[in-house]
């Protein structure tokens, strides 16, 4: 890509060579190593750091699982700013350092959690194993980078590694998953049903479905179904006629259950656990999506960001909640109306650089100054709209890496953020009292967050889940920049502090953020272990890189590693 014209780099990274772009040597992608690193990332964040069991001993991070009394280490790529950037191999201290595979690590973590919580979880290792095995197949089957005409779709289908802070990011139940896996480039025609009009439940604008579906006889309406879901949930109702596969191929996006049909998305229910949830649209979320789209339009008209609204849903009213929820489809707006090329943020942050959207490829030949300019544009488009939505409007977005698209221009520079997924979008009860009062109780309740919980969600998704991973991907190209990246981010956050907050306590929360209050990180490992629903997930604290408190503070207050320095 072309570099912007600017003064010579003043950063201590090697300047980009002239000549044609050279592909960056991406880190080795091995399912065992990725699985082990995800487990270790979780353990470090949720067990070792809170228990002060971490010691940076260059070039390693040494950690201990205290209850099973095991000491481990992995390579620390650079000093910790928020979250340690670790890479394999992972080793265990026995008689010297011995390589440790993902299976043994999963077993050690399970044993530690059993002692920590007093509860067992017999499903845990099977879920880790399923995730590992699925990832191994995805790596084998996927060709990267794909020669796809559409870089946006390539980015949606590139998440072979998935959530880097989840113990089983790629676990999918059942034998059929591969046919529908975005990570292997799956495409498939949708299955269509004709549903008798008196057995249809719908709200909002679903005219897209009638345009996409096959013709049906009078008195019936079409309903698309995800073929995987249909194999899990046969609709036994005389009001429903099976019309079979029809129409052009749909492209599954990164969430697996939402598919792209030019130019819109269809979000289906899928009775399969993917990371923390069985992906079923609850009835109150269907109505909630349509109501939220109405509420958010005027909010986004005033924000420099895009929103993929969800203007309607259709489902079956016969057959009870099983069919009502299980066969539901939410219509989501498409992406062609936005300038530039939208890219999935999770693909941009992918440390393995599988997609051409990844920082590792997009910016591989960029100078340090260009990396800074790119990051500055990225944060400027992503962070202020999220913070303003909360502070000025009482809207809690869920801007984690999978819920944000970032549009880039022909030079790869970010020009707009686009937010999606209204299931995780919530309203604060104060500013939205009269809007919420007009909705059915369960619909209003499911879309309401109290201000403290809402702020934690915003801060976790925006900074811990999202920006820290993109910053880390940029810092992988030029480690010396990492603190400067956060100084730039701080600048964009600080500008939001000048605005009046419509949310009581909002301004104080933002000031605390800038003053260095620790950040909330969702505890996916503990949540999976406890088999808690995602909405009950707890948070643990991680260091706040926005505070700029100086480079010298030892993370987590650790003093000395558990054994002699020479062994470490």
Ligand X SMILES: Nc1ncnc2c1ncn2[C@@H]1O[C@H](COP(=O)(O)OP(=O)(O)OP(=O)(O)O)[C@@H](O)[C@H]1O
Q: How far apart (Å, rounded) are the C-alpha atoms in residues 63 and 40?
A: 9
Assess 183 for contact with ligand X (CB under 6 A).
Answer: no
Contact yes or no for 1/412 (Cβ under 8 A): yes
237's contact among Mg ion, ligand X, none, with CB below 5 to 8 A by partner kind, is none
Q: What is the dihedral of CA 63, 64, 65, 68, to 10 degrees?
A: 150
In the complex, least distance from residue 276 CB atom to ligand X, rounded to whole angstroms: 8
Assess 423 for contact with ligand X (CB under 6 A).
Answer: yes
For 105, the token pair is 């690590």
In the complex, least distance from residue 425 CB atom to Mg ion, rounded to whole angstroms: 10
For 111, the token pair is 């044993």
Interaction with ligand X in 344-383: which residues (CB under 6 A)? 346
Q: Residue 193 forms beta bridges with which residues?
A: 223, 242
Assess 279 for contact with ligand X (CB under 6 A).
Answer: yes
243's contact among ligand X, Mg ion, none, with CB below 5 to 8 A by partner kind, is none
311's contact among ligand X, Mg ion, none, with CB below 5 to 8 A by partner kind, is none
In the complex, least distance from residue 161 CB atom to ligand X, rounded to whole angstroms: 8
Assess 424 for contact with ligand X (CB under 6 A).
Answer: yes
528's contact among ligand X, Mg ion, none, with CB below 5 to 8 A by partner kind, is none
Q: Which of 74, 151, 274, 383 binds ligand X (CB under 6 A)?
A: 274
In the stretch 251-270, what mask flags binding to ligand X with x, by CB under 6 A? --xxx-xx--------x---
Assess 403 for contact with ligand X (CB under 6 A).
Answer: yes
Assess 523 for contact with ligand X (CB under 6 A).
Answer: no
Q: What is the dihedral of CA 48, 53, 54, 57, to 10 degrees?
A: -150
Assess 400 for contact with ligand X (CB under 6 A).
Answer: yes
Interaction with ligand X in 146-175: which residues (CB under 6 A)? 159, 162-163, 169
In the complex, least distance from residue 106 CB atom to ligand X, rounded to whole angstroms: 18
In the complex, least distance from residue 360 CB atom to Mg ion, rounded to whole angstroms: 23
Interaction with Mg ion in 410-439: which residues (CB under 5 A)? 421
Nearer to ligand X, 273 or 322 (CB): 273
Interaction with Mg ion in 387-406: which residues (CB under 5 A)? 402-403
Question: What DSSP string runs through 248-313?
Answer: EEEEE-TTSSEEEETTEEEEE-EEEEETTEEE---HHHHHHHHHHHHHHHHHHHTSSSEE----EE
- Label residue 446 exposed, middle or buried (CB < 10 Å: 0-12, 13-18, 19+): middle
Interaction with Mg ion in 31-50: which residues (CB under 5 A)? none
**SS (HEC) of 373-410:** HHHHHHHHHHHHHHHHHHHHHCEECCCCCCCEEEEECC
CA-nearest of 314, 333, 289, 322 to 192 is 314
Q: How far is CA 341 from CA 175, 407, 417, in A?
A: 35, 5, 11
For 186, the token pair is 């799956």
Assess 421 for contact with ligand X (CB under 6 A).
Answer: yes
Interaction with Mg ion in 198-237: which residues (CB under 5 A)? none
Question: What DSSP string runs through 137-151?
Answer: HHHHH--SS---S-H
Assess 35 for contact with ligand X (CB under 6 A).
Answer: no
Stretch that binds Mg ion, among 254-262, 296-304, 458-466, 477-485 (CB under 5 A): 254-262
Nearer to ligand X, 106 or 464 (CB): 464
423's contact among Mg ion, ligand X, none, with CB below 5 to 8 A by partner kind, is ligand X
- Type and span of the H or E element at 35: helix 31-43
Q: How far apart (Å, rounded) are the C-alpha atoms in residues 150 and 424?
A: 27
Q: How far apart (Å, rounded) are the C-alpha atoms in residues 238 and 240?
A: 5
Pairing of the two strands 220-225 and 54-57: unpaired
156's contact among ligand X, Mg ion, none, with CB below 5 to 8 A by partner kind, is none
In the complex, least distance from residue 286 CB atom to ligand X, rounded to whole angstroms: 13
Contact yes or no for 167/39 (Cβ under 8 A): yes
Assess 127 for contact with ligand X (CB under 6 A).
Answer: no
Q: Which of 407, 465, 523, 527 binds ligand X (CB under 6 A)?
A: 465
Q: What share of the chain is helix, strand, coil (3-state, %, to 5)?
A: 40, 20, 40
Binding site for Mg ion (CB under 5 A): 255, 402-403, 421
Binding site for ligand X (CB under 6 A): 159, 162-163, 169, 253-255, 257-258, 267, 274-275, 279, 346, 400-403, 421, 423-424, 465
């Amino acid at each position: 890509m072309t570099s912007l014209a600017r003064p010579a780099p003043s950063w201590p990274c090697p300047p980009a060579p002239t000549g044609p772009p050279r592909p960056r040597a991406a880190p080795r992608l091995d399912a065992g190593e990725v699985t082990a690193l995800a487990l270790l990332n979780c353990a470090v964040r949720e067990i070792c750091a809170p228990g002060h069991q971490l010691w940076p001993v260059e070039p390693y991070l040494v950690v201990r699982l205290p209850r099973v009394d095991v000491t481990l280490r992995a390579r620390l790529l650079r000093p910790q700013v928020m979250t340690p950037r670790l890479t394999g191999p992972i080793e265990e201290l026995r008689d010297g350092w011995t390589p440790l595979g993902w299976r043994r690590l999963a077993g050690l973590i399970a044993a530690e959690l059993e002692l920590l919580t007093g509860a067992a979880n017999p499903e845990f290792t099977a879920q880790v194993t399923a995730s590992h095995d699925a990832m191994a197949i995805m790596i084998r089957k996927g060709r990267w980078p794909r020669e796809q005409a559409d870089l946006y779709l390539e980015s949606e289908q590139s998440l072979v590694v998935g959530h880097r802070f989840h113990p089983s990011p790629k676990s999918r139940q059942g034998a059929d998953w591969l046919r529908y896996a975005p990570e292997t480039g799956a495409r498939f025609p949708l299955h269509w049903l004709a549903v008798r009009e008196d057995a249809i439940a719908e709200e909002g604008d679903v005219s897209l479905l009638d345009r996409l579906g096959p013709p049906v006889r009078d008195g019936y309406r079409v309903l698309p179904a995800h073929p995987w879901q249909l194999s899990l949930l046969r609709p036994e109702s005389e009001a429903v006629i099976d019309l079979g596969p029809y129409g052009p191929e749909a492209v599954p996006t990164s969430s697996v259950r939402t598919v792209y049909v030019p130019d819109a998305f269809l979000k289906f229910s899928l009775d399969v656990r993917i990371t923390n949830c069985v992906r079923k649209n609850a009835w109150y979320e269907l109505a909630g999506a349509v109501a939220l789209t109405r509420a958010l339009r005027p909010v986004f008209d005033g924000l420099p960001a895009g929103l993929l609204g969800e203007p309607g849903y259709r489902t079956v009213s016969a057959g009870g909640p099983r069919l009502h929820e299980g066969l539901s489809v939410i219509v989501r707006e498409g992406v062609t109306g936005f300038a530039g090329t939208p890219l999935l943020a999770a693909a941009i942050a992918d440390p393995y650089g599988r997609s051409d959207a990844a920082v590792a490829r997009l910016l591989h030949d960029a100078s340090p100054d260009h990396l800074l300019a790119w990051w500055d544009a990225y944060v400027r488009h992503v962070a202020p709209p999220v913070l303003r939505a909360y502070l000025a409007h009482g809207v809690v977005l869920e801007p984690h890496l999978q819920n944000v698209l970032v549009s880039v221009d022909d030079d790869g520079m970010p020009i707009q953020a686009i937010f999606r997924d209204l299931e995780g979008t919530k309203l604060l009860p104060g500013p939205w009292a009269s809007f919420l009062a007009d909705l059915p109780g369960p619909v209003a309740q499911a879309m309401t967050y109290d201000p403290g919980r809402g702020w934690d969600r915003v801060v976790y998704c925006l900074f811990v889940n999202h920006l820290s991973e993109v910053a880390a991907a940029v810092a992988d190209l030029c480690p010396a920049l990492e603190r400067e990246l956060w100084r730039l981010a701080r600048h964009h956050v600080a500008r939001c502090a000048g605005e009046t907050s419509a949310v009581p306590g909002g301004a104080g929360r933002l000031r605390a953020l800038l003053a260095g209050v620790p950040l909330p990180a969702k505890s996916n490992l503990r949540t999976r272990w406890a088999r808690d629903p995602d909405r009950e997930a707890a948070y643990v604290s991680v260091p706040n890189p926005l505070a700029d408190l100086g480079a010298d503070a030892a993370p987590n207050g650790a003093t000395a590693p558990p054994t002699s320095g020479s062994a470490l």
